[in-house]
């Protein structure tokens, strides 16, 4: 059970990292909030898809927590 939980967390971090690199790599012009909105929209969309596919918890519960500790020089967040 622990291995499955760990694997779910690893895949979630990889998805977040890939999506954030894609979003923050785009030229957004003067709207500095746009990358964060696009990232939020992507995560919300994925969450809805997973909720639809898996209506009941697979493992009972998997606690996913994610915090932003700081940002890099280009303004992109770093994982905490």
Question: Residue 64: its pLDDT value, please?
Answer: 56
Say whether 33 sits in a helix, a strand or coil: coil
Residue that wins the pLDDT comparison between 4 and 64: 4
CB-count burial class (<10 Å; 0-12, 13-18, 19+) for 58: exposed
Q: What is the pLDDT of residues 25-70, one digit of tens each?
A: 888 788 888 889 989 998 899 888 888 888 877 766 655 555 444 4
Question: Residue 61: its pLDDT value, please?
Answer: 62
**Positive or negative, the Cα torsion across 61, 39, 10, 49?**
positive
Dihedrals phi, psi of 79, to nearest 5 degrees:
-70, 150
Q: What is the pTM of this model?
A: 0.59
Question: Residue 80: its pLDDT value, please?
Answer: 46
């Amino acid at each position: 059970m622990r291995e499955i939980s760990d694997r779910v967390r690893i895949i979630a971090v990889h998805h977040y990292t890939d999506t954030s690199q894609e979003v923050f790599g785009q030229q957004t012009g003067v709207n500095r909030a746009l990358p964060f909105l696009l990232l939020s929209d992507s995560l919300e969309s994925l969450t809805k898809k997973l909720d639809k596919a898996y209506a009941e918890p697979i493992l009972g519960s998997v606690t996913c927590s994610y915090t932003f500790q700081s940002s890099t020089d280009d303004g992109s967040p770093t994982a905490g």
